[in-house]
Amino acid sequence: MVSCYLIATGACLPMANASIFRAEHRMAPDLSPDRSISRGGASSSRRRDLVFVVNPRGANGRTGKEWKKLLPFLQSRLGTDCNICESLTSGPFHAIDITREAIREGADAVISVGGDGTLHEVVNGFFWDGKPVANQNREAAHSTALGLIPLGTGSDFARTFGWKNDPCEAIERIATGLRSRIDVGVINREGEQPHYYINVADIHLSAKAGYYASKYKRFGNLCYVIGALQAFMGHHNQDLRIKVDEGEWETFPKVTALCIGNAKYFGGGMKITPNADPRSRDFEVVILQDFKWYDFILKLNKLYSGTHLSVNNVTARR
Catalytic residues: 116
For the chain, what is the radius of gyration of the CA atoms? Answer: 20
Separation between Cα atoms, residue 91 and residue 104, nearest integer Å: 21
The number of beta carbons lying within 10 Å of the beta carbon of residue 104 is 15
Nearest to 57 by CA among 147, 118, 120, 146: 118
Measured distance between the N- and C-terminal CA atoms of the chain, rounded to whole angstroms: 23
Separation between Cα atoms, residue 222 and residue 239, nearest integer Å: 29
How does 180-206 read in b/e, with b if 16+ C-beta sit within 10 Å?
Answer: bbbbbbbbbeeeeebbbbbbbbbbbbb
Separation between Cα atoms, residue 283 and residue 81, nearest integer Å: 37
